Structure 1
Amino acid sequence: MDQPKQPILTADQEALLRDRSNWMGLYLVLHAWVVIGLSMALFVVWPNPLTFVVAIALIGGRQLGLAILMHDAAHRALFKNTKLNDFVGAHFCGFPVGASLGLYRPYHLSHHRHTQQPEDPDLILSAPFPITQDSFKRKMWRDILGVTGYQRRLEQFKFTMGDNPSLALRLAKLAAHEKYFIASNATLLLILSIAGVWWAYFVLWLLPLMTWYQVISRIRNIAEHAVVGDNNDRLRNTRTTLTNGLMRMVLAPYWVNYHLEHHLFVYTPCWKLPAAHKMLIAQGFGPRMELAHGYLPVLRKATAKDPSSPDASGRSGRRASASMI
């Protein structure tokens, strides 16, 4: 039987998608931090409930953005210069939000090698779906209240410390593992303290990291691989979610919604994924691709389990993964 046709790039298309830029990488990282700074300033200068909500949503979105840029660095696609790629991806993108590039890279590349297969380390994120609407609401409440963020960090701490009977050794392992997170967050606290708004670190950095960041990370994870068409078809086991600019701003930063294109062309910098999408459509692959128009249709599909079914508890495993992206 003939195998289904797969996307084939011309030499020019391949060169276009593979080409990376140190300047674009620098711009994206600076963009994330500038948006975070301006969002903090918005609430500091005009403190009211509306600016608070806007600031939390924008900052949480850019915190996910930093994780996404670290993800690009894991594929060595953030900067053309490898040393710059790994240094900036680790210290200015990953560590501030509690993610380790060194731990994430091998874990994530395994996900790409075994996408939606039993060996996929991320299968635990998509396998429980569909779930019931009640189960999804409970998860959302835990996310927005900070329970999920607390549980994830606690599990990471326990995993890092291990089961050595010596408390001193366990704490030493934890300190060694978390030293860059501590250093980057201490630097942020120092900068905000010098600016006279020390409290902004807790209210406008830690709070969105423990709340809105968790919400949009869950939605993004669901959209990427949950309830896809065919786990064995490269065009159907990963989803691209086409959405508007507002949703990309607060929920899908730095073109992360083009996830199918990323899986097909893993070497492509995030800012070139829309071009990869156009290439696939031009080749006529649109009808075969796992595409969604907006996040709401995906969430409806992912929460369509009948609550009366025997296995409708909707429980999904948690893990001390290398990162939360």
Structure 2
Amino acid sequence: MDTPQPDLFAEGLHRQNARRQLTELLGEQTIRDLHRRSNLWGWWAVTSVWVVVAAAMAAIVWAQSQPLWIAVVTVTLAILIIGGRQLAMAILMHEASHRALFENNWLNDTLANWLCGHPIFLEIHKYRRHHFVHHAKTGTRDDIDYSLIRDLPTSRTSLIRKFSRDLLGITAIKSIIGLVLMNAGVLRWTMASDMERLPSKGQSFFDYAAAFVKNAWPTLLFNLMLFGLCYWIGHSELFLAWLVAYLSPYYLFLRIRALAEHAMTEQSPDMLKNTRTTRAGLIARAFVAPFYVNYHIEHHALAQISCWQLPRLHKMLRAKHAIPASPGYWDVLKLVSSKPEIS
């Protein structure tokens, strides 16, 4: 039996109607106020990320003169914090892709790209093209990111296996291989799990290698400069800590964040139903929910507003009873791992 195709025209009307209802609910002036951006806030956000990374690296240097157990705890915590700030870089690059991090487009497209995207092997223009399709098709099987939440719920054992692969670096290695092949022009660029091979058109190995260098040189240069800085101050091991954070906790935090946003939400074009806002305490904000990314219903409702406006929008929508109470991250993990174990 053929799978019925979605009615894209009807979905478009539904989305327009939902946005119209949102404007009626909050008022046009409030909507305009929520779209106010701040260069000062953008500078603070980017600077704060790197200050915390530097502080975590300083803690690693300090730990080397401490007793073994203190050193192990400190280095482990520092690597987790760096991984959390790497996710924060991804979130700020996402913010800039909507041109909402700074008032100035050059700052959004260039500064955020170099200080938030390139350090973690992301590129804002490619990401923007991909991500805007996600916003247009959220809640449907045409969503370009649907593969990230497909086949859920899973069992608790399966989810633990996924988390174990993240912490062991297996997920990172697969992702990096994919990124290399995408930058080389072997695979179509995507942030999702589905990979599509591009036609070869007679390219040689050297053609692919040249394409990789052309596309990936900013990431390679940034990380070479970071290594050079660590080497110059006499602590090359700090670059190793940066790599370990990227290869392990970063991908775990990335998975948890993705699950919280859309996993097991209603298959509907209504952005108030196909997305989830999640409660985030101090620990969640440090590791999986930086810069208010947990307010994801609000982000999809008004995708171009700055992230620092999202808590305000959340309070307004809750006061109008337009959105449900938010579950915590632990609640979401229990939900997505609620499939019975196979005996």
TM above 0.5: yes
- Match of 2:144, SS state, is coil
Cα distance per residue 1:192-218 (max 9 Å; x no partner): 11111112101x211001100000100
Is 2:273 the counterpart of 1:236? Answer: yes
In the alignment, is the contact (CA less than 8 A) between 1:97 and 1:209 conserved in 2?
yes
In the alignment, is the contact (CA less than 8 A) between 1:17 and 1:267 conserved in 2?
no
With CA pairs under 8 Å and 6+ residues apart, which has the higher RCO, 1 or 2? Answer: 1
- Alignment-derived partner of residue 10 in structure 2: none
Greater CA drift, 66-75 or 8-17: 8-17
CA distance in 2: counterparts of 1:186 and 1:210, whole angstroms: 17
Cα distance per residue 1:6-51 (max 9 Å; x no partner): 3233233212210111111011000000000001111111231111
- Alignment-derived partner of residue 303 in structure 2: 266
Is 2:339 the counterpart of 1:305? Answer: yes
CA distance in 2: counterparts of 1:120 and 1:229, whole angstroms: 13
In the alignment, is the contact (CA less than 8 A) between 1:111 and 1:120 conserved in 2?
yes
- Alignment-derived partner of residue 214 in structure 2: 176
Tell me how far 1:155 sits from its aligned partner: 1.4
Greater CA drift, 123-132 or 210-219: 123-132
CA distance in 2: counterparts of 1:229 and 1:167, whole angstroms: 45
Is 2:147 the counterpart of 1:147? Answer: no
CA distance in 1: counterparts of 2:288 and 2:182, whole angstroms: 29
Which aligned pairs between 1:70-109 and structure 2 lie closer than 5 A? 70-109=93-132
Larger Rg: 2
Which aligned pairs between 1:1-325 and structure 2 lie closer than 5 A? 6-8=21-23, 9-47=26-64, 48-161=71-184, 162=186, 163=200, 164-202=202-240, 204-286=241-323, 289=324, 291-308=325-342
In the alignment, is the contact (CA less than 8 A) between 2:139 and 2:266 conserved in 1?
no
- Match of 1:260, SS state, is helix
CA distance in 2: counterparts of 1:251 and 1:56, whole angstroms: 14
- Match of 1:27, SS state, is helix
Letter in 1 for 2:22: P
Identity among equivalent positions (%) equals: 35
- Match of 2:326, SS state, is strand
In the alignment, is the contact (CA less than 8 A) between 1:133 and 1:304 conserved in 2?
yes
Cα distance per residue 1:58-104 (max 9 Å; x no partner): 11011000010000000000100111111112111100011110100
Letter in 2 for 1:152: S
- Alignment-derived partner of residue 67 in structure 2: none
In the alignment, is the contact (CA less than 8 A) between 1:7 and 1:283 conserved in 2?
no
In the alignment, is the contact (CA less than 8 A) between 2:102 and 2:108 conserved in 1?
yes
Tell me how far 1:230 sits from its aligned partner: 4.3
- Match of 1:293, SS state, is coil
- Match of 1:7, SS state, is helix
CA distance in 1: counterparts of 2:163 and 2:90, whole angstroms: 20
In the alignment, is the contact (CA less than 8 A) between 1:243 and 1:293 conserved in 2?
no
Letter in 2 for 1:280: L
Cα distance per residue 1:175-231 (max 9 Å; x no partner): 1111000011111111111111112101x2110011000001000110000011443
CA distance in 2: counterparts of 1:76 and 1:244, whole angstroms: 27
In the alignment, is the contact (CA less than 8 A) between 1:149 and 1:211 conserved in 2?
yes
- Ranges in structure 2 where 5+ consecutive residues have no aligned partner: 1-16, 65-70, 187-199
CA distance in 2: counterparts of 1:171 and 1:303, whole angstroms: 41
In the alignment, is the contact (CA less than 8 A) between 1:258 and 1:273 conserved in 2?
yes
- Match of 1:79, SS state, is coil
The alignment's TM-score, normalised by the length of structure 1, stands at: 0.89
Letter in 2 for 1:99: L
In the alignment, is the contact (CA less than 8 A) between 1:74 and 1:101 conserved in 2?
yes
CA distance in 2: counterparts of 1:229 and 1:166, whole angstroms: 46
Tell me how far 1:236 sits from its aligned partner: 1.4
The RMSD of aligned alpha carbons is 1.8
CA distance in 1: counterparts of 2:271 and 2:57, whole angstroms: 41
Tell me how far 1:165 sits from its aligned partner: 4.9
- Match of 1:36, SS state, is helix
- Match of 1:117, SS state, is coil
Tell me how far 1:158 sits from its aligned partner: 2.0
Greater CA drift, 44-53 or 135-144: 44-53
- Alignment-derived partner of residue 315 in structure 1: none
In the alignment, is the contact (CA less than 8 A) between 1:7 and 1:280 conserved in 2?
no
CA distance in 2: counterparts of 1:251 and 1:198, whole angstroms: 27
In the alignment, is the contact (CA less than 8 A) between 2:263 and 2:336 conserved in 1?
yes
